[in-house]
Amino acid sequence: MSDLDQLEARLEWPFNDAALLRQAVTHRSATGPNNERLEFLGDSILNFVIASEVFNRRPDLREGELSRMRAALVNKHALAAIARRFDLGPHIVLGSGEMKSGGRRRDSILADALEALIGAVYLDGGYEAGRALVLRLYQDDLSSLPDMEAHKDPKTRLQEYLQGRHLDLPHYAVEEVSGRAHAQTFRVVCTSEALQLIGEGLAGNRRQAEQAAANDLLAKLAPLSGNGQTPNNTDGASA
């Protein structure tokens, strides 16, 4: 059985047009038709199907919470994780440069290829075929949708904690920028005078460094709060 035959079997969709499957797994760095247009289409289908499922499965959520949950399910890192579970990497066709640099392990390439596959199945079999593939890929994720608190980034959690206690919001300041222009590191300090706490974060851009600083402050706040619910979901900063 060829690589594409194996992939087709795991997709549980026998393609009428095998060229669509080949195109879906072909990165733009390779010769021939690539998957960029299919990725665009698959992204739209994926967002609609996941939005519909979250809307129906979680009637308790408001619009903003629905948006955050959908974003958490369809972002690049979530898609790449599903692609790895699906063992998609070995099937992706890359140019020599991307091949040498380990492109099959890169989140962006894995995520784009997965979305392209959704687009290809949609074109080959229609909306219901595309929807069925999304539901198979997301079966585990949709069966155990987490509490929305888990999807709030550290800056949001810290802000809501302070606002809920009518305290002043924290102040973020870039203390240092190091490294060359293409690989800079930002050191940001998050200060809460109301809590008399300071958090510090390092990251490759200011936004991520601010999130890391807020997360650090929340980690210091958690032992003081005596409450395992509100501020201490310190499982990492979101991008």
CATH number of the domain where residue 58 is located: 1.10.1520.10
Q: Are residues 20 and 138 in the same domain?
A: yes
Report the CATH number at residue 175: 3.30.160.20
Give yes or no: residues 138 and 169 share one domain. Answer: no
Residue 146 in this model has a pLDDT that exceeds 80: no
Predicted pLDDT of residue 230: 43
What pLDDT score does 206 carry?
Answer: 93
Is the distance from CB of 117 to CB of 25 less than 8 angstroms? yes
Tens-digit pLDDT profile for residues 202-211: 999 999 999 9
Residue 237 lies in a domain: no
Report yes or no on 63 lying in a domain: yes
Question: Mean pLDDT over residues 145-149, rounded?
Answer: 68
Flag whether 235 is in a domain: no
- 92 and 113 assigned to the same domain: yes
Give helix then strand counts, H and E, for the chain: 11, 3
Res 187: pLDDT: 96
Same-domain status, 192 and 96: no
- Rounded Cα–Cα distance for residues 54 and 45 (Å): 14
Sign for the pseudo-dihedral over CA of 78, 79, 80, 84? positive
Tell whether 47 and 163 lie within a shared domain: no
From 43, 98, 153, 216, active-site residue: 43
**What does the pLDDT read at residue 64?**
85
> What pLDDT, in 10s, does the model give residues 190-233?
999 999 999 999 999 999 999 999 999 999 987 766 544 444 44
Q: What number is the average pLDDT over the span 147-153?
A: 65
Print the SS3 string covering 54-107.
HHHHCCCCCHHHHHHHHHHHHCHHHHHHHHHHCCCHHHCECCHHHHHCCHHHCH
Asked if residue 234 is part of any domain, the answer here is: no
Tell me how far apart the alpha carbons of residues 31 and 95 are, in angstroms, rounded to a whole number: 7
pLDDT of res. 62: 87
**Residue 153 assigned to a binding site:** no
In this structure, is residue 232 part of a structural domain? Answer: no
How many domains in the chain?
Answer: 2
**Residue 178 sits in the same domain as residue 106:** no
115 is in an annotated binding site: yes
Q: Which domain holds residue 62?
A: 3-146
In a domain, 230, yes or no: no
Q: Do 70 and 181 sit in the same domain of this protein?
A: no
Question: Is the pLDDT reported for residue 239 higher than 50?
Answer: no
- Residues 127 and 57 grouped into a single domain: yes
Which tens digit of pLDDT belongs to each residue from 152-191?
788 988 998 899 899 999 999 999 999 887 788 999 999 9
| pLDDT band at residue 78 under the 50/70/90 scheme | very high
Give backbone dihedrals phi and psi of 75, rounded to 5 degrees, phi first.
Answer: -70, 170
Q: In what order do the strands lie in the sheet with 171-178?
A: 171-178, 185-192, 197-203
Is residue 104 located within the same domain as residue 188?
no
Q: What's the rounded mean pLDDT across residues 58-66? A: 88
Q: Which of 98, 115, 124, 216 is catalytic?
A: 115
Residues 52 and 164 in one domain: no
Give yes or no for a contact between 70 and 50, defined as CB atoms under 8 angstroms apart: yes
Domain-ending residue, one of 127, 146, 165: 146
- Identify whether residues 183 and 131 lie together within a single domain: no
Tell me the average pLDDT across 61-68.
87
Residue 233 forms part of a structural domain: no
Q: What is the pLDDT of residues 34-56, one digit of tens each?
A: 999 999 999 999 999 999 999 99
Cβ density class 68-100: b for 16+ within 10 Å, e for less: bbbebbbeeebbbebbeebebbebbbbeeebee
The pLDDT confidence band at residue 57, using thresholds 50, 70 and 90, is very high
For residue 148, the model assigns a pLDDT of 60
Tell me if 168 is assigned to a ligand binding site: no
Burial classification of residue 42, based on how many CB atoms lie within 10 Å of its CB (0-12 exposed, 13-18 middle, 19 or more buried) = buried
Q: Give the mean pLDDT of 86-114.
A: 93
E strand intervals along 163-238: 171-178, 185-192, 197-203
Domain boundary among 113, 146, 179: 146
* 115: annotated active-site residue: yes
Last residue of a domain, one of 104, 121, 146: 146
Residue 79 lies in a domain: yes
189 and 136 both lie in a single domain: no
